[in-house]
DNA sequence: CTCAGGTATCTCGACATCAAGATATCTCCG
DNA sequence: CGGAGATATCTTGATGTCGAGATACCTGAG
């Protein structure tokens, strides 16, 4: 089955036969797929009254394990947003009663963001719902292919995640 | 080499051993990689004084071939943004002299967006620059792996691109 | 102990995006 | 032909994000 990137690459080969546009076969698909996934996630989370950005923060805290708290800085590296954005997110989640700010006992500059009970429940429910939807999307692939794909993607992501970026 | 998603999946397995989080191995990597790519593209385009969103629109027009024009609607399907966003983008690109609006001779509701000479040059330069950077990122993979990866991603994207969504 | 440099978080203003709805035009059935 | 419904684009207001800078605090060399 053909996709938009096949058409895009074919168009470049016609218009710019002098260029090697092979990289787009991979990277344009990554970008476009991510955009489609964003939309699908927005729909999936709507069932639970959450926005994708809320999910990202709540689940990062949920994954941290009891007592479900992380510093804003730790949340930054997991969510790939800027500090201003994170401050804003924490403000809004606090307003909704899903997290609360606590002073960091070891560093007076610092803050700890902790999940409330309500926040924890919401995160758990939304995760379960998300996985149902994601499994459907991945039904296009055999388990073996999924593993292959995950491995190849890891090779590309790892440099970003490990070399400070 | 381990990445953030390995850590994320391990954390879920510890916190929610009852759930099968396998789908995240693929889809979380797609989302995170796309985010890293956005940042890298922003840097790459800065050399040419372009924003990623400008690049997306200009290159869609460039690919269309002479006379480098498309309707806003056609641009929507290629860039995956809403119509309001596209109107705004066209306004701003017009202001910068990179595109201009022409009435569609066959449909008085319609508009054609055409690349200016300057817009065409910018698109060509930025594309060449982007490919240089993207090739570096893909140096992690052999050509064979790149082909495999592209094929697997196509399987996932194709349903979105073909079924109207 | 001190202070220069580093770090953690927050503030602020500009900007891009979206969703929903408005407007104008087209299509085609009856 | 007439008009209902489809389509193409634009408008508007709310919202989320970013980048740069401000503030408060920590750390380590001397």
CB contact at 8 A, B158 and A2:
yes
- Asked if the Cβ of residue B85 lies within 7 A of any atom of strand C, the reply is yes
- pTM assigned to the model: 0.92
Query: How close is the nearest chain A Cα to the Cα of B161, in Å?
Result: 6
CB-CB contact of A86 with A111 (8 Å):
no
Q: Which of A77, A135, A140 sits opposite B159 (nearest CB)?
A: A140
One-character DSSP codes across A3-26: -HHHHHHHHHHHH-TTS--HHHHH
State how many domains chain B has.
Answer: 1
Query: pLDDT digits over B37-66, tens only?
Result: 998 999 899 889 999 999 999 999 999 999
| B34 near A CB under 8 A | yes
* Bridge partner residues of B112 (DSSP): B102
- Percentage of chain B beyond pLDDT 70 is 98
3-state SS string for A126-151? HHHHHHHHHHHHHCCCCHHHHHHHHH
Parent domain of A12: 4-143
* Per-residue model confidence as pLDDT tens digits over B96-126: 999 999 999 999 999 999 999 999 999 999 9
Mean pLDDT over residues B132-138, rounded?
94
Residue A162: what pLDDT?
79
Cα gap A34→B41, rounded to integer Å: 15
- CATH code for the domain in which residue B66 is found: 1.10.10.10
Asked if strand D comes closer than 7 Å to B101 Cβ, the answer is yes
* Strand D-contacting residues in A 79-118, CB cut-off 7 angstroms: 80-85, 88-89, 92, 107-109
Q: B149 lies in a domain?
A: no
pLDDT beyond 70 at B33: yes
Q: Is residue B12 part of a domain?
A: yes
**Average pLDDT of A14-32?**
96
Q: With 80 as the cut, is the pLDDT of residue B165 above it?
A: no
Output the six-digit token pair for A136: 């459907």
Mean pLDDT (chain B) is 94
Tokens found for residue A121: 């429940």
pLDDT digits (tens, 9 = 90+) for A47-60: 898 999 999 999 99
Tokens of A129: 């719902």
Separation between the CA of B79 and the C1’ of C24 (whole angstroms): 25
* A158 within domain boundaries: no
Position B85 scores a pLDDT of: 98
In a domain, residue A28? The reply is yes
Partner residue facing B150 (CB), from A2, A26, A146:
A26
A37 part of a folded domain: yes
**Average pLDDT of chain A to the nearest whole number:** 94
End-to-end CA distance of chain B: 36
Confidence label for B1 from pLDDT (cuts 50, 70 and 90): confident
**Would residue B101 count as lying in a domain?**
yes
Q: Give residue-wise pLDDT tens across range B74-102.
A: 999 999 999 999 999 999 999 999 999 99
**Can you read off the two tokens belonging to residue B33?**
């990689």
Nearest nt (C1') from B91 Cα:
D10
Q: Is the pLDDT of residue B164 over 60?
A: no
**Order of all β-strands in the sheet with A111-115:** A69-70, A111-115, A99-103
Evaluate whether A12 touches B135 at the Cβ level (below 8 Å): no
Round to whole Å and give the CA distance between B3 and B5.
Answer: 5
**Cβ atoms within 10 Å of A133's Cβ, excluding its own:** 18
């Amino acid at each position: 089955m053909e996709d938009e990137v096949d058409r895009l690459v074919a168009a470049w080969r016609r218009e710019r036969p002098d260029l090697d546009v092979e990289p787009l076969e991979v990277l344009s698909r990554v970008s476009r797929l991510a955009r489609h996934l964003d939309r699908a996630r927005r729909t999936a989370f709507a069932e639970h009254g959450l926005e994708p950005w809320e999910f990202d923060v709540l689940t990062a805290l949920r994954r941290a394990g009891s007592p479900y708290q992380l510093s804003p800085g730790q949340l930054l590296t997991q969510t790939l947003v800027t500090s201003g954005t994170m401050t804003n997110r924490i403000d809004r989640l606090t307003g909704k009663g899903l997290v609360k700010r606590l002073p960091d006992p070891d560093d007076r500059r610092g803050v700890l963001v902790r999940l409330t009970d309500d926040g924890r429940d919401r995160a758990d429910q939304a995760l379960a719902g998300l996985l149902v939807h994601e499994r459907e999307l991945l039904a296009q692939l055999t388990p073996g292919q999924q593993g292959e794909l995950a491995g190849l993607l890891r090779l590309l992501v790892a440099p970003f995640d490990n070399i400070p970026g």
